[in-house]
């Protein structure tokens, strides 16, 4: 997601954009100068999110301008759409955008369980890589008492010739994805002792850089390798969503070695018991001249006894196809997936138990995503989501 914050000087990661630079970039754009729609909205006093009736198409330019005031319990003064800078007392407060100011105006485009929130503040110029219904929100927890009265003017411009967004295309087949390929891929991952575990249920075709970009843009974060690292990261990065997500993930094996990467996606408050997570391995072969990544995605929904040692372990949602489809929805919403399909291997795995004893079931299909390779930097959706 490409965006420019229209303020006198605003830093985005390592980049500072002045209002003059924003104007210059806008002047060079080939996006139509007349909005296809312009609307005004008011945020709700009672709910964190206000769902509008405005639908945005992938790659369209959306420009926000907001004004108004809000108050929150414990705040000494009222504040505007940029919210209150978070301080020491806010370290444990869980917000939709942990790195944003408490009470700030935020937005979301698409399905609530998939779309990544972003900070609007007083003004924002953004190109979302995915489409959907626009929701406006106030950056507060569900039990946080805030009274916000923000007026938001929204203009939507049709995607121009300079749009870099590509919409993922669902196809029947992808070159090189066939039964011969799947005969080289174990159906399940396992623990170090060789006990069979989760089902291999997705495959990604793309370079390591492209793979990392698409996960980051979709709001997934890498998982710490050990407990000490996770605790230290959580203590030092209390304002970051990653600090709640990077609880350690056990090592499991495919192709004779532990996972190359672990990724997690969750609401921070739920991560101790529930999170979307996956492990991914670089395959020891290629499709054409491209890198192949093979993985297993599951959804932690609680805790249960580990049948191997009677310890406590995460319990996964037994319908693992839901997690496969969640992965598809989050990754294809980034504009970084060129095409995707579902492949049914011979003798599909449809019911089994994990290495810890939990059961799962599936229709046996494997999600295959082919990434769009690009020399451009990670879309700003990654910055917004994090």
In the structure encoding, which two tokens stand for residue 135, read together? 């929701």
Any idea what the CATH number is for the domain that residue 51 is in? 2.60.120.430
108 plus 182 within the same structural domain: no
In sequence order, the 6+-apart residues with CB closer than 8 A to the CB of 330 are 114, 218, 219, 220, 265
Work out the number of other CB atoms within 10 angstroms of the CB of residue 25.
Answer: 13
Q: Rounded CA gap, 30 and 44, in Å?
A: 35
Is residue 319 in a domain? Answer: yes
Q: What is the pTM of this model?
A: 0.69
Q: How much is the pLDDT for 2?
A: 43
**Could you read off the pLDDT tens digit of each residue along the chain, which spans 386 residues?**
544 343 333 333 322 333 333 333 344 455 678 999 999 999 987 788 999 999 998 889 999 999 999 998 888 889 999 998 876 565 556 778 877 888 999 999 988 877 888 999 999 999 887 789 999 999 988 778 888 889 999 999 998 766 666 678 999 999 999 999 999 999 999 988 888 889 999 999 999 999 999 998 888 888 865 544 444 444 434 434 445 456 677 888 999 999 999 998 865 545 555 678 899 999 999 999 999 999 999 877 665 566 656 665 566 678 889 999 999 999 998 889 999 999 999 999 898 877 667 778 899 999 999 999 865 434 433 333 33
Name the burial class of residue 146, with classes exposed (0-12), middle (13-18) and buried (19+) by CB atoms within 10 angstroms of its CB.
buried
Cβ distance 344 to 364 under 8 Å? yes
Is residue 356 in a domain? Answer: yes
Q: Rounded CA gap, 234 and 241, in Å?
A: 9
Is residue 60 in a domain? Answer: yes
> What range does the domain containing 226 cover?
169-385
Q: Rounded CA gap, 375 and 155, in Å?
A: 30
143 plus 215 within the same structural domain: no
Express each pLDDT in 8-29 by its tens digit. 333 333 223 333 333 333 444 5
94 plus 181 within the same structural domain: no
First CA to last CA distance, the chain: 13
Q: Rounded CA gap, 96 and 117, in Å?
A: 7
Q: Rounded CA gap, 3 and 385, in Å?
A: 13
367 plus 317 within the same structural domain: yes
Is residue 210 in a domain? Answer: yes
Phi-psi region of 255 (alpha: psi -120 to 50; beta: other; left: phi over 0): left
Q: How much is the pLDDT for 249?
A: 77
Express each pLDDT in 49-87 by its tens digit. 999 999 998 889 999 999 999 998 888 889 999 998 876
Average pLDDT, the chain: 79
Q: How much is the pLDDT for 385?
A: 34
Domain boundary among 133, 157, 181: 157
Cβ distance 331 to 369 under 8 Å? yes
178 plus 307 within the same structural domain: yes
**Is the alpha carbon torsion for 245, 249, 255, 261 positive or negative?**
positive
Q: Rounded CA gap, 128 and 130, in Å?
A: 5
**DSSP assigned state of 102:** B
> Structurally, how many domains does the chain consist of?
2
In sequence order, the 6+-apart residues with CB closer than 8 A to the CB of 31 are 61, 157, 158, 159, 160, 162, 163
Is residue 279 in a domain? Answer: yes
Name the burial class of residue 15, with classes exposed (0-12), middle (13-18) and buried (19+) by CB atoms within 10 angstroms of its CB.
exposed
105 plus 193 within the same structural domain: no
Q: How much is the pLDDT for 92?
A: 58
Q: How much is the pLDDT for 125?
A: 95
Share of the chain above pLDDT 90, in %: 43
Cβ distance 239 to 93 under 8 Å? no
146 plus 175 within the same structural domain: no
Q: How much is the pLDDT for 315?
A: 63
316 plus 194 within the same structural domain: yes
């Amino acid at each position: 997601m490409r965006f420019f914050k229209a303020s006198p000087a605003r830093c985005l990661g390592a980049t500072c954009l002045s209002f003059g630079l924003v104007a210059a970039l806008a002047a060079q754009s080939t996006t139509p100068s007349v909005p296809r729609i312009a609307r005004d909205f008011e945020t709700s006093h009672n709910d964190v999110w206000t769902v509008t009736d405005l639908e945005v198409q992938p790659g369209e330019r959306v420009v926000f301008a907001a004004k108004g005031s809000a108050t929150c319990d414990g705040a000494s003064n009222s504040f505007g759409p940029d919210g209150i800078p978070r301080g020491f007392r806010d370290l444990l407060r869980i917000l939709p955008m942990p790195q944003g100011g408490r009470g700030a105006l935020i937005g979301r485009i698409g399905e609530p369980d998939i779309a990544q929130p972003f900070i609007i503040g007083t003004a924002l110029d953004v190109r979302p890589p995915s489409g959907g219904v626009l929701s406006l929100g106030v950056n507060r927890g569900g039990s946080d008492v805030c009274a916000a009265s923000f007026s938001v003017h929204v203009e939507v411009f049709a995607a121009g010739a300079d749009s870099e967004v590509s919409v993922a295309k669902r196809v029947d087949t992808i070159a090189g994805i066939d039964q011969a390929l799947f005969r080289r891929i174990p159906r399940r991952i396992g623990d170090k002792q060789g006990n069979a575990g989760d089902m291999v249920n997705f495959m990604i075709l793309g370079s390591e850089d492209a793979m990392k970009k698409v996960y980051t843009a979709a709001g997934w974060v890498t998982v710490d390798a050990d407990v000490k690292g996770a605790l230290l990261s959580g203590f030092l990065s209390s304002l970051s969503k990653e600090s709640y997500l990077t609880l350690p993930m056990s090592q499991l094996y495919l192709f004779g070695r532990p996972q190359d990467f672990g990724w997690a996606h969750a609401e921070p408050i739920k991560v101790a018991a529930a999170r979307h997570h996956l492990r991914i391995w670089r395959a020891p072969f290629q499709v054409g001249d491209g890198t192949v990544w093979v993985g297993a995605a599951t959804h932690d929904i609680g805790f249960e006894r580990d049948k191997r040692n009677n310890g406590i372990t995460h319990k996964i949602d037994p319908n693992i196809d839901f997690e496969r489809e969640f992965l598809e929805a989050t990754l294809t919403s980034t504009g970084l997936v060129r095409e995707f399909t579902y492949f049914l291997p011979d003798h599909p795995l449809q019911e089994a138990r994990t290495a810890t004893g939990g059961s799962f079931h599936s229709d046996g299909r494997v999600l295959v995503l082919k990434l769009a390779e690009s020399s451009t930097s990670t879309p700003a959706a990654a910055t917004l989501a994090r």
